[in-house]
């Protein structure tokens, strides 16, 4: 009995607005990535347009190659974005296995560049498997934690899970050390530590891993595991004036280039250090110096802010999803991008040792671009599953008096 009040019935009215028309993409993340890619392409072009020793007399050579890299990366991004979440989890072990096989092939038939045997030549292109290994380790660790959490009554992360994650990361890490690629190893170590921390592992494991890393690094230096040029780079980092024409040359020239830019920069394509080719590897590892010299403090600051937006959105996606796999994977990608960007910018400014890692979405290189855009595609996939969109013909309930 409802008394004198009229009975109510449910009718439906169409849902209007953006939700009825388009998927809920993370437009901040997508906008930041697209802007970084566009800026990076311009910086790579500027760093190579006057370098006949690199381009062979074709000023547009690296521009065309980078555009091809971006096009392929965009296709990979869309494929991951459109892939069903269940398939991503099924394919995760295969991705991990493929990355390990690639790292083994590098040691067997790889090419040595700048003292590191990290590339496989495939005709006109070169592939760097260690770039894909970062993503493979993240999704491998995320899958392990998710399977254990969903298949067991105990929801916490304990010794078994932490040891499993360390084994998953340890195989690629050992192969990367044999190249040797110290820069990628540092990024991978920071990423693994971040994933273990985000998974909810006990603090004793985090403290133990930190102490093990410090002792292991000191032991590696004392035992002569590092190559001579790697040790020289660390010595030059601690004392920049020690060898300004040798190990400290890169850092010295990078500082000069960034300092030349001032507040507003010398103008795109007009950087004096850049056009003269004084900074080595300026289109790859030291591309940030092009931004500092030609776009100034404001342009370089914008680049850092955009990278910060990417890391922030990855952390937001990790915090919003209820899926264990998605949370760990998104958090791991945030750690990867965050530390690698810090390492790259830091070595250009002299606050980190020179280790040779690309700036995400900005540096020239196919493998780095492909891995970065694959990771963004995974982030967007997780975001879309978290924010399910109502169908376009969905109608919302509305109460109307019964007649």
3-state secondary structure the chain: CCCCCCCEEEEEEECCCHHHCCCCCCHHHHHHHHHHHHHHHHHHHHHHCCCHHHHCCCCCHHHHHHHHHHHHHHHHHHHHHHCCHHHHHHHHHHHHHHHHHHHHHHHHHCEEECCEEEEEEECCEEECHHHHHHHHHHHHHHHHHHHHHHCCCCCCCCHHHHHHHHHHHHHHHHHHHCCCCHHHHHHHHHHHHHHHHHCCCCHHHHHHHHHHHHHHHHHHHHHCCCCHHHHHHHHHHHCCCCCCCCCCHHHHHHHHHHHHCCCCCCCCCCCHHHHHCCCCCCCCCCHHHHHHHHCHHHHHHHHHHHHHHHHHHHHHHHHHCCCHHHHHHHHHHHHHHHHHHHHHHHHHHCCCCCCCCCCCCCCCCHHHHHHHHHHHHHHHHHHHHHCCCCCCCCEEEEEEECC
Indicate whether 399 belongs to any domain: no
Indicate whether 331 belongs to any domain: yes
How many domains is the chain built from?
1
At 16, the pLDDT band (50, 70, 90 cuts) reads very low
Q: Which of 98, 160, 155, 156 is nearest to 131 (CA)?
A: 98
Share of the chain above pLDDT 90, in %: 50
Using one digit for the tens of pLDDT, what is the confidence trace for 153-192? Answer: 556 678 888 999 999 999 999 999 888 888 899 999 999 9
Task: Kindly state the tokens that stand for 159.
Answer: 């010794």
At 3, the pLDDT band (50, 70, 90 cuts) reads very low
pLDDT at residue number 386: 82
Share of the chain above pLDDT 70, in %: 81
pLDDT at residue number 158: 80
Average pLDDT, whole number, for the chain? 84
pLDDT at residue number 392: 40
What is the Cα–Cα distance from 393 to 330, expressed in whole angstroms?
A: 32
pLDDT at residue number 393: 42
Residue 395 has pLDDT above 60, yes or no: no
pLDDT at residue number 178: 87
pLDDT at residue number 20: 39
What is the Cα–Cα distance from 36 to 22, expressed in whole angstroms?
A: 24
Could you tell me the residue range of the domain that residue 74 belongs to? Answer: 23-388
Using one digit for the tens of pLDDT, what is the confidence trace for 264-293? Answer: 999 999 999 888 888 888 999 999 999 999
Task: Kindly state the tokens that stand for 25.
Answer: 């993409």
pLDDT at residue number 295: 95
Question: pTM score, two decimals?
Answer: 0.86
């Amino acid at each position: 009995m409802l008394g004198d009040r009229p009975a109510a019935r449910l009718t439906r009215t169409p849902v209007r607005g953006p939700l009825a028309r388009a998927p809920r993409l993370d437009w901040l993340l997508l906008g930041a990535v697209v802007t970084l890619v566009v800026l990076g392409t311009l910086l790579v072009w500027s760093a190579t347009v006057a370098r006949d020793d690199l381009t062979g007399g074709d000023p547009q050579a690296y521009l065309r190659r980078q555009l091809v890299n971006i096009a392929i990366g965009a296709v990979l991004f869309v494929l991951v974005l459109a892939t069903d979440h269940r398939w991503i989890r099924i394919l995760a072990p295969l991705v991990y296995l493929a990355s390990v096989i690639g790292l083994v092939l590098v040691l067997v038939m790889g090419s040595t560049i700048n003292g590191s045997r990290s590339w496989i030549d495939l005709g006109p292109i070169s592939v760097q498997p260690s770039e894909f290994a970062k993503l493979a380790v993240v999704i491998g660790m995320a899958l392990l934690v998710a399977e254990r959490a969903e298949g067991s009554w105990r929801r916490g992360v304990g010794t078994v899970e932490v040891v499993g994650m360390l084994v998953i990361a340890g195989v690629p890490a050992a192969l990367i050390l044999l190249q040797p690629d110290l820069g990628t190893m540092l990024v991978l170590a920071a990423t693994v530590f971040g994933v273990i921390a985000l998974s909810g592992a006990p603090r004793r494991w985090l403290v133990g891993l930190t102490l093990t890393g410090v002792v292991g690094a000191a032991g590696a230096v004392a035992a002569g595991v590092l190559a001579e040029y790697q040790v020289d780079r660390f010595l030059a980092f601690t004392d920049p004036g020690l060898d300004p024409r040798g190990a400290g040359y890169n850092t010295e020239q990078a500082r000069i280039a960034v300092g030349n830019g001032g507040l507003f920069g010398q103008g795109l394509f007009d950087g004096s250090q850049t056009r003269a080719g004084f900074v080595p590897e300026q289109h790859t590892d030291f591309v940030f110096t092009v931004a500092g010299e030609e776009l100034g403090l404001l342009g370089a600051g914008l680049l850092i802010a955009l990278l910060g937006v990417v890391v922030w959105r990855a952390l937001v996606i990790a915090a919003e999803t209820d899926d264990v796999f998605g949370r760990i994977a998104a958090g791991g990608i945030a750690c990867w991008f965050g530390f690698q960007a810090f390492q790259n910018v830091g070595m250009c400014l002299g606050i980190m040792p020179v280790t040779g890692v690309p700036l995400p979405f900005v540096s020239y290189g196919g493998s780095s671009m492909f891995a970065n855009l694959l990771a963004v595609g995974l982030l967007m996939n997780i975001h879309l599953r978290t924010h399910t969109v109502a169908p376009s013909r969905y109608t919302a309930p509305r109460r109307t008096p019964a007649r």
